[in-house]
Amino acid sequence: MFKRGPETPAAANAPLGWREKLSYGVADMGFNFYWANIATFLLIFYTDTFGISAAQAATLLASIKLINAFTDPLIGAAADRTSTRFGKFRPYLVWMSIPLGAAAVLTYTTPDLDADGKLIWAYASYLAMMVFYTCVNIPYNALSGVMSADPQERSTINGLRFIFAFAGSTLVTAATPAMVGWLGAGDDERGWQLTMVAWSIAAALMFLITFANTRERIAPPPGQKSDVLRDIRDLAANRPWVVLFVLALVIMVTITLRTTTSAYYFKYVVERPELMASFVPTYMIFAAIGAACTPLMTRYVDKKLLMIVLMSATAVLSASFFLIPGDRIDLMFALQAATGFVLGPKSPLAFSMYADTADYNEWTTGRRATAMTFAAATFSQKLGTAVAVSVIGAVFTALGYVPNAAQTTGSQAGIVWLMSFVPASFALLAVLVMCFYNLDSKLLARIQADLTARKAAP
């Protein structure tokens, strides 16, 4: 049951079984038990339950993301240099799941401290949560790059993974508010704490399933020497990876702006906060449908062109949100569904492309650093989240946001812009960035053929 590490080059090109594909994907549901809570509820938890200002919360979230972003390459380098009977990456799913859950519970705990003490608690607990999250997530991301050498298989497992991811996000955004009310019995502080206990236990079980039912088949070239600085230099010279690094940052800003602002939009603009329980899940459901269609799309459309089309559509749909009257709930949900569908393939596409850039790196330099490739990618995603939260915090502070009170006309207008034109502008920037990507299907086929020949040579 607990399979070992790297196998033969022939095994790397063999089709993957559905049990292994599904088992790989299920862990991303567990990750979204954390990530969806962070993206959707953590800011409003800090401002409306924990009891710190919007400016303090935004500074906290942005600064911790920034600090944590710089730990990603370190964790990636450590994972690349890990050697166990179960492989390089899978053991982290077991080793770090309990520390991650404990840190998450502490993050959503409101201590009986003064204002300064609470702020220190928030910084310390959230930083711990994000570091342990990275310790599990980066090896998991890297695992998709060593399970198979076939680009289409990679598209399939990443497509399945994000179906689970969006399902997890849907479940979290739909169930969390009700769980807080039920478990807290009127005490929101206790409700948030117990809710995170439940999500953490569920996530740990899913990580165990992935560990037990997947295997690593691709190893670095024999004799490759450990050299972190060389790995970083290789990535900096890897043009397709650099493009994806910038792309991930820009897309994460786009998504985080809309997701985080949604809670404020329905509470203070639409004045129907209960709709959040179905608004974000609507996005997730249709994003899962889009993710499920990704392997079919990549059979007929080159990944680069597909990404450009998807982000162009995202820009149009986001900008259209500005035109919706506050009482047209049906149009809000229709645009949310359409946005989810066109953004759904983005994640499996991007992670499949990261694995392709790891192959490109090995092809051009003779060296492979899979975890470092994915770690530096998550570095840019966290920078993007930090940028988005900083933008939201700056806008709210400038417009005079006051928690749990009627908002000024200017504050309401700022919230609407953060749901529409601001993310639309970042989506258009993503289109521009993608124009510089230079890995097409023909070059990938050549790379795979050359790498297979190298490994088969005596």
340 closest CA partner among 427, 409, 282: 282
Distance, first Cα to last Cα, the chain:
32
Per cent of the chain over pLDDT 90 is: 42
Q: How many beta carbons lie within 10 A of that of residue 24, not counting itself?
A: 23
Query: Is-contact 26 209, C-beta < 8 A?
Result: yes
Which residues neighbour 188 within 8 Å (Cβ) at sequence distance 6 or greater?
A: 49, 180
Domains annotated on the chain, with CATH = 18-213 (1.20.1250.20), 228-448 (1.20.1250.20)
- Distance, in Å, from the CA atom of 113 to the CA atom of 285, rounded to the nearest integer, reads 40
The mean pLDDT of 315-339, rounded to a whole number, is 92
Predicted confidence (pLDDT) per residue in 291-300, tens digit = 888 888 988 8
100 closest CA partner among 46, 22, 33: 33
- Distance, in Å, from the CA atom of 330 to the CA atom of 324, rounded to the nearest integer, reads 10
Per-residue pLDDT at 441: 83
Query: Is-contact 293 345, C-beta < 8 A?
Result: yes
Which span out of 33-42, 181-190, 227-236, 254-263 was modeled with the highest average pLDDT? 181-190
User: What residue type is 144 in one-letter code?
Assistant: S
Which tokens go with 82? Answer: 């890990």
Per-residue pLDDT at 410: 77
Query: Is-contact 177 127, C-beta < 8 A?
Result: no
Is the pLDDT at 5 greater than 60? The verdict is no
The rounded mean pLDDT for the chain is 87
Q: Which of 158-162, 249-253, 288-292, 372-376 has the lowest mean pLDDT?
A: 372-376
pTM comes to 0.73
User: What residue type is 332 in one-letter code?
Assistant: M
Predicted confidence (pLDDT) per residue in 151-172, tens digit = 778 888 988 888 898 889 889 9
Per-residue pLDDT at 306: 94
Predicted confidence (pLDDT) per residue in 43-81, tens digit = 889 988 999 988 899 889 878 877 877 788 889 889 988
Per-residue pLDDT at 117: 94
Secondary structure E strands in 48-122: none
Higher pLDDT, 378 or 122: 122
User: What residue type is 23 in one-letter code?
Assistant: S
Q: How confident is the model at residue 275 (pLDDT cuts 50, 70, 90)?
A: confident
The mean pLDDT of 271-292, rounded to a whole number, is 85
Query: Is-contact 350 248, C-beta < 8 A?
Result: yes
Predicted confidence (pLDDT) per residue in 180-198, tens digit = 999 999 899 999 999 999 9
Query: In Å, how far are 352, 356, 363, 366 from 455, measured between CA atoms?
Result: 22, 17, 12, 11
Which tokens go with 301? Answer: 């459309």
Predicted confidence (pLDDT) per residue in 72-120, tens digit = 888 988 998 898 989 999 999 999 999 999 999 999 999 999 989 999 9
320 closest CA partner among 420, 417, 253: 420
The mean pLDDT of 287-291, rounded to a whole number, is 88
3-state secondary structure of 110: coil
